[in-house]
Chain A
Amino acid sequence: MAAPYRLDDDSVVVIIGSGAGGGTLGNELAQKGIDVVILEAGARIEHEDFINDEWDSFAQLAWLDHRTTGGGWRVGKDFPNLPAWIVKAVGGTTTHWAGASLRIQEHEFKALTNYGKVEGANLLDWPITLADLEPYYAKAEDKMGVTRTNGIEGLPGNNNFKILKAGADKLGYKECHTGRMAINSADRDDRMSCQQTGFCFQGCKWGAKWSTLYTEIPKGEATGRLEVRPNAHVVKIEHDADGKVTNVVYADKDGKLQSQKARIVCVACNSIESPRLLLNSESARFPDGLANSSGQVGKNYMRHTTGSVYAVFEKPVHFYRGTTMAGIIQDEAGHDPSRGFVGGYEMETLALGVPFMAAFLDPGGWGRSFASAMDGYANTAGLWIVGEDMPQEQNAVKLHATLKDQHGMRIPDVWFTDHPNDIAMRNHAYKQGQALYEAVGAIRSFPTPPYPSTHNLGTNRMSEKAQDGVVNKWGQTHDIKNLFVSDGSQFTTGAAENPTLTIVSLAIRQADYIAEQMNAGSI
């Protein structure tokens, strides 16, 4: 059963955040017999209690603490206090996620080498290669039950997919299928198969979709070596005179500050809160924040080049039925600069219910053009674009100069402006998406702008040299040996793929390294 640890137990590994990175790392370490405390800011809400209703679910799970935005992105104008769509609950954003699980391509790990210098971009090669990560990708795919791997069958295609596939065929695309999804196509790992409910973004009430909430976390707890402490919002990481981290300070459910001692601290709060926590942990010795000798903490914020294309047909589609992300086209995912940009993008089906469609189709839009688009809802199909965006130093998570949260900590101010490469890629993808739907008879199509960020990356990036980034190839901070970063903020570049499979693979790999180093007594 779940092991409770004492606040003054300084032998434990403390992981902050229980999402894709933190939840996986916690289980992996516990399986190796290491004592782990996961501190999670959100509540523990079991999957039976998820709600099949977009706004009610959003209120139940989303991270709604105060945030601000800056820069030229449209999200900053349309949703000035909602830069990102992230979860605050045990399981983190793996409760909301759609399940698309793709490996980063070999050339993407070497973005600087393969794309060359791109003006205004802060490109860098990852300090690891695809070959380094392959064994861990294999483990992650097995753990998550990713379809089209390990002999697991693909999911059946819904109506939205069938339209995508017909359009792909018309355009001559070759790589179109129902995706590699961490959603059970048949019962597996004591979880049932997908019932095509259509509320993947609201948390899967059946548990068919992988989430750390009901896979990694209970498995870790069953070892007796993992305690998950919900409603524990970490506000600061503290260190000793040698510059080693010693404990973390968190606000408990009553807002009272507590201090948990630790042998090792792993930060896995997603790419806005992770750098914010490091910056807020400034001290006399580290006046610019922890692990920030490079000045790169919070910098290079990436969110993928995204956008959607929705199209209205003469006859019904009912695209909200079935898996939200029901299929993919990968033909544009390669690097082919003849298209006018570096890197590539994926096209994945996407469906929203009426409430979210109204909010996101054309934020701020109104009048007959908007209303008639909504009237076409039942006959609508849709896809989402996800492509590699350029890391830029001025795209950053900063601490707000004056505003503080309920615990007295400075809130994050999220800055983003598209790079010209991002814009060129998005326009190309809009054109392809609209052509695809028109090829199968769309009457009208909508190039829909990006939503608040669902993929948040790069703000504590991995680098070979300490001066270029925050963590080394194991996610260990260059500056502090017993401080790790264990989430998507480690990404050196964004690549075109949905990030979670890579986050999970890195966490499995990091667990091996931490165990090794602990055994060797070096941390």
Chain B
Amino acid sequence: MTTIYERRRSPASGLSRRELLKRGTVGAALVITGSAVISPDRAWGVETTALKPDTMATLIKLARDIYPHDTIPDRFYAIAVKGHDTKAGQDPAHKELIEVGIADLDARAGAGGYRGLGWEDDRVAILREIETTPFFQAVRGDLVVSFYNQKDLWPHFGYEGESFSKGGYINRGFDDIEWL
């Protein structure tokens, strides 16, 4: 299992509150240390076991570029892609697919690598070139479930999930539309 560590207390140590506010938590650069990817505010981290932490950081960025929701924090993208690390630990072919795929993205991006490209449009242009590759298909195909199937994200979309235990919607607004 690839774990995501979450800090209970915030603001996190290491960065001052001012610095944190300045950087924000969404879209700010991820920190790579040893075998982990850590969020800029140190609120969470992913410890990798099979993939390089750099690869994991790029996967997180890639995931956001595939399904860009600007107000959803990186943590959810990290949760969505961490399965690739777990799978890479069990299946060398998968590890190869991901490492080579990410290295290819970096090579196409030039000097600063994929994460170094400042504009989403520039990164997306690269993704359009590789969208039919098994690497991209594997990442996107997995992500569409592992990202959107996170219950904690459903409130963002205004989806209420399970409803049986609440008695359905018969008394909870199934026909409450008023603006028509």
Contacts and interface: CB of A to CB of B under 8 A. Distances in A.
Interface residues of B, number: 37
Contact of A318 (B67, B69, B173, B179): B173
B56 to A, nearest CB: 20
A156 interface: yes
26 contacts: A55-B145, A55-B149, A156-B174, A159-B174, A159-B177, A195-B170, A197-B168, A206-B164, A206-B168, A316-B177, A317-B177, A318-B160, A321-B169, A353-B161, A354-B148, A354-B154, A355-B148, A358-B144, A359-B148, A366-B67, A366-B131, A367-B68, A371-B69, A374-B67, A375-B69, A379-B158
A430 interface: no
Given A53-B161, A355-B148, A198 B168 contact: yes
Given A162-B175, A355-B149, A378-B157, A197 B169 contact: yes
A377 B159 contact: yes
B175 A370 contact: no
B124 interface: yes
Interface of B: 65-69, 124, 127, 131, 140, 144-145, 147-149, 153-154, 157-165, 167-170, 172-177, 179-180
Residue with the greatest number of chain B CB neighbours at <10 A, chosen from A199, A354, A440 = A354
B106 to A, nearest CB: 20
B175 A358 contact: no
Contact of B174 (A322, A354, A379): A322
B148 A197 contact: no
Given A158-B174, A205-B164, A322-B175, A375 B157 contact: yes
B65 to A, nearest CB: 8
A444 to B, nearest CB: 16
A157 B158 contact: no
Nearest to B153: A354
A367 B140 CA distance: 11
A52 B124 contact: no
Nearest to A52: B162
Contact of A322 (B66, B147, B169, B180): B169
A199 B169 CA distance: 11
A157 B175 contact: yes
B121 to A, nearest CB: 10
A73 B67 CA distance: 26
A163 B177 contact: yes
B145 A196 contact: no
Contacts of A314: 179
Interface string A161-174: 01100100000000
Contacts of A250: none
Give the dominant DSSP class at B's interface.
Answer: loop
B66 A354 contact: no
Interface string A400-427: 0000000000000000000000000000
Contact of B177 (A162, A206, A366): A162
Contacts of B131: 366
Contacts of A322: 169, 174-175
Contacts of A137: none
B164 A197 contact: yes
Contacts of B163: 52, 197-199, 321
A360 B159 CA distance: 16
Nearest to B178: A315
A437 to B, nearest CB: 12
Residue with the greatest number of chain A CB neighbours at <10 A, chosen from B159, B160, B164 = B164
Interface in A349-369: 353-355, 357-359, 364, 366-368
A320 interface: yes
A327 B27 CA distance: 43
Contacts of A316: 158, 177
Nearest to B69: A371
Contacts of B140: 364, 366
Nearest to A368: B68
Given A53-B161, A55-B145, A55-B149, A196 B69 contact: no
B52 to A, nearest CB: 24
Contacts of A166: 180
B157 A374 contact: yes
Contact of A196 (B65, B158, B170): B170
A354 B145 CA distance: 10
Interface in A181-205: 194-199, 205
A234 to B, nearest CB: 32
A354 B157 contact: yes
A163 B180 contact: yes
Top 7 A-B pairs, shortest CB-CB distance:
A378-B158, A195-B168, A322-B174, A358-B148, A197-B168, A52-B162, A321-B169
Nearest to A157: B175
A359 B145 contact: yes
Contact of A53 (B124, B162, B174, B177): B162
Contacts of B175: 156-159, 162, 322
Contacts of B149: 55, 355
Given A55-B145, A322-B175, A371-B67, 12 more contacts: A156-B175, A195-B167, A196-B174, A315-B179, A322-B169, A353-B159, A355-B148, A358-B148, A367-B124, A371-B68, A374-B148, A377-B157
Residue with the greatest number of chain A CB neighbours at <10 A, chosen from B162, B167, B177 = B177
A377 B158 contact: yes
B128 to A, nearest CB: 9
Interface in A294-351: 314-318, 320-322
A296 to B, nearest CB: 36
Contacts of A205: 164
Interface in A2-33: none
B161 A52 contact: yes
Nearest to B120: A368
Interface string A371-407: 1001101110000000000000000000000000000
A159 B176 contact: yes
Contacts of A379: 158
Contacts of A377: 157-159
A353 B153 CA distance: 12
A367 B66 contact: yes
